[in-house]
Structure 1
């Protein structure tokens, strides 16, 4: 009994001695070193940093204002309206942004990456694609003017992308992610549907609108335009206008101030086509074929009125191998193409199907 009691006391003394030494500052073994970083991760980080440094100076912050009139003095002034992002397009000071950034604005200021704030005016708008072009006024532009390289080739789901902009006014913010999906459609202003958008999980928030979406090499692949978010902040679902649309629309905005898609040289009636579709007919009824036109030479037959009812002629059911069910489908497919491009148009008439080739013309 005494031996076991002595043993227990000895164990307690050893434990007490251990803790006494521990709290008295006795040295402990150093922590194990962190494992070395992956060489691949370091390379990816270096690439991201290089892309940001290369593209940063081409991105601008945009603030807009609206003209106000004092109801008592009738004096006019300017009140802050909103903010967004954009990027430099060419050496003459054109800036690409979203149409909704400058909508209802009477004035705009562009802040460059070097801190300068310069007045800008609206050159052109394309609400159907949520794109707009400003031009910096004056001659105080940096030389050479930094611009992003235009990307080429088809995007792939899973491809890395980077977004630069001014979310919530936090200027020149970089976020990264991947291409989550392609060919997304979103409702736009005035009931328009914006088609063919890129979906990305790169964080996009209010203020990012109009900023560039870049690939891993720093090439422009889209213009950030919208988010899907019940809370109003990024939920990992952002959308961008693809660069193929930007490259088609922006030069026309710069040249003419508006964007007009090409046409087939045929006439359609939106109201009557919608009524026909509601009756169960899929496709687009042709209502007008100009005399002497390519379409007339191809034998396209328009619908006509006879005996108090509509006698259908040719119905367009496909273009370029893509089926079309409504006039909106047809116009969206035409809008993806350029003036002078030849397209194969699939027609149906009284159960017979045939194909003709037509050259897209400049719209009016």
Structure 2
């Protein structure tokens, strides 16, 4: 009897031990799930950590965007398409870009290249009001165009105008525009370089551009580049990128150029560079100045009844590929002239009617003549 009892006790102990092991194994397998279920039943929002005040730079970014973004507009260009079966003409979207309010008369500034090939242009304000725009005029050489919408109630404020002649590399920049159709996008950066030169779509050269690393992408064209005071310092016009998207190098037409040319376009419908009244030729100029071992611009021809004619400038005379006589322009006022592009860029600084002192090289001597630009 005692042996049987002990055998039963041993068997019962083994069963209890197995049951305990199975229970422990089951808990090991299913305990995480049970814990997750329990945690989900007990879950509550976590307490919020106070962040403190915004940094000074964040406050500046926010203030500039809130102040300036209502003045930035969304531009949609349209083109006419002909249905060959019905002969109906339909206008379809062609592209998008950016622009900004120039004055309370409804003038809007953008890039000329953003409008090329368009049959019509629509302007959408930040409050979603949309208007048909009229092209007032353009200066393709500077990639600038002026549009106009009707004078409306609650016209957004024009952007504050700054200066670009005193910019320094390292200053903060703020670009607002509509990259890839994403309206009113703010990007920030610095002035990366100054006085950059780009070849325009029409083959002309745009000089004096501001280089910035604020992200500029397709759709930003025509939008404003601002300084840390929220003033306009340039118009975003181009980006350098092998892929066609942002690579850290963007360019803007400086505001000093804009503020000189836009009023002329508004007043006259076009921009005309002040003229001396001479004919120049890049290829001939290189040959002549090389032969004379001098930097300047050769006066190839003096136009009749021109300011140059009245001031006594002389065109060059060439016989048997040899320079006989003629004037070489080497300076205008305090500006040194070494190439034809430098001459054209220098004339951009003046208005029609301004009187300038033209320094010329003639027969081995440098002399000055007074000339009124026309």
Instruction: Give the TM-score normalised by the residue count of structure 2.
Output: 0.79
Specify every segment of 5 or more residues in structure 2 that has no aligned partner in the other structure, as ranges.
Answer: 1-34, 36-48
In the alignment, which residue of structure 2 is the partner of 1:181?
193
Q: Within 5 A, what are the aligned runs for 1:25-174?
A: 42-136=55-149, 138-139=150-151, 141-152=152-163, 154-174=166-186
- 1:204-223 residue CA offsets vs partner (Å, 9 max, x unmatched): 11110000011111111000
The Cα RMSD (Å) is: 2.8
Which piece of structure 1 moves more, 285-294 or 41-50?
285-294
Is the counterpart of residue 226 in structure 1 residue 241 in structure 2?
no
Specify every segment of 5 or more residues in structure 1 that has no aligned partner in the other structure, as ranges.
Answer: 1-22, 24-33
Is the counterpart of residue 323 in structure 1 residue 336 in structure 2?
yes
Contact 1:181 1:198 in 2 (8 A): yes
Alpha-carbon shift at residue 225 of structure 1 (Å): 0.3
Q: Distance in 1 between matches of 2:284 and 2:79?
A: 40
- 1:18-77 residue CA offsets vs partner (Å, 9 max, x unmatched): xxxxx9xxxxxxxxxx9987x8x7222212211111111100010101111223332211
In the alignment, which residue of structure 1 is the partner of 2:248?
236
Alpha-carbon shift at residue 354 of structure 1 (Å): 2.2
In the alignment, which residue of structure 1 is the partner of 2:18?
none
Is the counterpart of residue 262 in structure 1 residue 274 in structure 2?
yes
- 1:182-211 residue CA offsets vs partner (Å, 9 max, x unmatched): 110011112111111000111111110000
Contact 1:66 1:79 in 2 (8 A): yes
Alpha-carbon shift at residue 173 of structure 1 (Å): 0.5
In the alignment, which residue of structure 2 is the partner of 1:18?
none
Q: Distance in 1 between matches of 2:367 and 2:309?
A: 15
In the alignment, which residue of structure 2 is the partner of 1:16?
none
Question: Matched residue pairs, number?
Answer: 327
Q: Distance in 2 between matches of 1:292 and 1:357?
A: 16
Q: Distance in 2 between matches of 1:322 and 1:47?
A: 38
Contact 1:90 1:145 in 2 (8 A): no
Q: Which has more radius of gyration?
A: 2
Alpha-carbon shift at residue 121 of structure 1 (Å): 1.8
Q: 1:167 to 1:334 in 2, by over 3 A?
A: same
Q: Within 5 A, what are the aligned runs for 1:269-280?
A: 269=281, 272-273=284-285, 276=288
Give 2:202's match in structure 1, choosing from 180, 190, 198: 190
Contact 1:285 1:312 in 2 (8 A): no
Instruction: Give the TM-score normalised by the residue count of structure 1.
Output: 0.81
Q: Distance in 1 between matches of 2:203 and 2:183?
A: 32
